[in-house]
């Protein structure tokens, strides 16, 4: 398939260029031509600012069903978790497919072309394996295909409910039995049956140091290393996790991961909120990535992580929508900067270009798509277009389009999303799932008790 897309404005090499023709063959960009003042004959016109597709580096698809419900009243991360368990208990492979399909379609409408699904809901209630032990993971992979986006399935080891001592963890509670394979070896055997494809990569995740006993951390890390696959881990999201780790192991979670071979350039710590200076140095010196999820982190009152310091020390930044209180990577990018302004009472920690890079190229790299996230020949033809004439974005001159997109636009301003050269969202409408709102409402309603 050959098609030419004409971008009214495009973000190239940190600059906004007017009139850019993107030639696409078999799902990849074959040429990028600047100075195309008018659309070439037969070209698909993209009005606004075209940027590489956004990478949602951290997602729990089923958390989308919590939106609104968990905003009632007060509480903590731990009370929020109890509501999450209730939703998880009602999912089947069929209902999970329907929900994830709608959630991933919402992501496409928000300009997201790849999602990193941190997947730990493996088994039936009570922990009994389905006849296909990967039925839930396969449902997510199929859902992404139907919604027209790419996925990195970060199959997650989740073996215990808490740290017991330096050798073992507490048994999973009744809700967590669905998550557990029993041992890291059993997790690896099941995960090894998952296969990558054109639209799906298979990676690994450690849920957290509280959910994987220290003696089993290296098994998961070695599985990922052997496959050169991305490895993600929730890291120091809660101070209680740090306290329990120190009590059992005499060190922080970051040091524990370092001592068991988990850190490295294919590893991403998610949240990285409550870190010591030594933790930051360990993550930076090992080039371990950091995925910030500012909307979830503030929704759950987790705190503000040291993102700017981490990046200065060598930890690449990516962004995720995590619990999907909203699905809007432009908001996540903006929030990372604004949170740092609140924390430091100074402005301008990242340029708009740096924030866009975290949301695109570095997010793709964190998910194992190392040739994606750029508008250049040879890259996958994955890109999105943000309107510059909405009530939020009208007014600034075009050369400030990147600043406008990051600091003013929202997901509602996404007009087009192209994945592998296919026009998945056209003029704000999903071409594969025309009524995404209805699909979301019906799939979530099916989970209500």
Q: Which residues are catalytic?
A: 271, 322
What the block records as the tokens of 208 is 């957290």
* First-last CA distance in the chain: 46
Greatest alpha-carbon span in the chain? 68
User: CA angle, corner 292, sides to 309 and 102, nearest 5?
Assistant: 165
HEC per residue, the chain: CEEEEEEEEEEECCEEEEEEEEEEECCEEEEEECCCCCCCCCCEEEEEEEEECEEEEEECHHHHHHCCHHHCCCCCHHHHHHHHHHHHCCCCHHHHHHHHHHHHHHHHHCCEEEEEEEECCCCCHHHCCCCCCCHHHHHHHHHHHHHCCEEEEEEEECCCCEECCCCCEECCCCCHHHCCCCCHHHHHHHHCCCCCCCCEEEEEEECCCCCCCHHHHHHHHHHHHHHCCCEEEEECCCHHHHHHHHHHHCCCHHHHHHHCCCCCCCEEEEECCCCCHHHHHHHHHCCCEEEECHHHHHHCCCCCCCHHHHHHHCCCEEECCECCCCCCHHHHHHHHHHHHHHHHCCCCCCCHHHHHHHHCHHHHHHCCCCCCCCCCCCCECCEEEECCCCCCCCCCCHHHHHHHHHHCCCHHHEEEEEECCEEEEECCEECCCCCHHHHHHHHHHCCCC
């Amino acid at each position: 398939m050959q098609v030419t897309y004409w971008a009214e404005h495009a973000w190239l090499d940190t600059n906004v260029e007017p009139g850019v023709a993107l030639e696409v063959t078999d799902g990849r960009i074959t040429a990028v031509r600047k100075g195309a003042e008018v659309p070439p004959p037969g070209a698909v016109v993209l009005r606004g600012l075209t940027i590489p597709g956004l990478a949602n580096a951290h997602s729990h698809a089923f958390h989308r069903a919590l939106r609104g419900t968990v905003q009632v009243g007060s509480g903590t991360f731990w009370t929020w978790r109890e509501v999450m368990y209730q939703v998880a208990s009602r999912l089947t492979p069929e209902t999970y497919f329907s929900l994830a399909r709608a959630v991933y379609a919402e992501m496409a409408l928000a300009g997201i072309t790849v999602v990193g699904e941190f997947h730990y809901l493996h088994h039936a209630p009570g922990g009994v394996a389905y006849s296909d032990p990967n039925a839930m993971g396969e449902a997510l992979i199929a859902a992404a295909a139907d919604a027209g986006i790419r996925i990195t399935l970060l199959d997650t080891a989740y073996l215990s409910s808490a740290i017991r001592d330096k050798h073992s963890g507490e048994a999973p509670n009744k809700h967590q039995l669905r998550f557990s394979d029993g041992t890291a070896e059993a997790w690896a055997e099941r995960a090894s049956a998952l296969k990558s494809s054109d639209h799906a990569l298979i990676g690994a995740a450690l849920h957290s140091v509280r959910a994987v006993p220290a003696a089993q951390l290296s098994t998961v890390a070695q599985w990922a290393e052997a496959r050169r696959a991305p490895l993600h881990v929730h890291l120091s999201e809660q101070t209680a996790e740090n306290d329990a780790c120190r009590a059992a192991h005499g060190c922080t979670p970051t040091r524990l991961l370092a001592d068991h071979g988990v850190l490295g350039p294919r590893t991403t710590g998610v949240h990285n909120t409550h870190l010591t200076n030594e933790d930051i140095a360990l993550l930076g010196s090992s080039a371990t990535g950091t995925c910030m999820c500012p909307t979830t982190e503030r929704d759950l009152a987790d705190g503000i992580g040291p993102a700017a310091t981490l990046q200065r020390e060598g930890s690449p930044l990516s962004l995720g929508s995590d619990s999907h209180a909203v699905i809007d990577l432009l908001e996540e990018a903006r929030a990372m900067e604004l949170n740092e302004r609140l924390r430091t009472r100074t402005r301008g920690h990242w340029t708009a270009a740096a924030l866009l890079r975290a949301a695109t190229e570095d997010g793709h790299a964190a998910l194992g798509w190392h040739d994606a996230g750029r508008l250049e020949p040879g890259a996958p033809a994955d890109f999105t277009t943000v309107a510059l004439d909405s009530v939020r974005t009208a007014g600034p001159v075009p050369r400030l389009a990147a600043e406008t997109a990051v600091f003013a636009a929202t997901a509602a301003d996404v007009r087009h999303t192209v994945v592998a050269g296919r026009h998945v969202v056209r003029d704000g409408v999903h071409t594969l799932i025309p009524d995404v709102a209805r699909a979301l409402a019906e799939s979530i309603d099916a989970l209500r008790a």
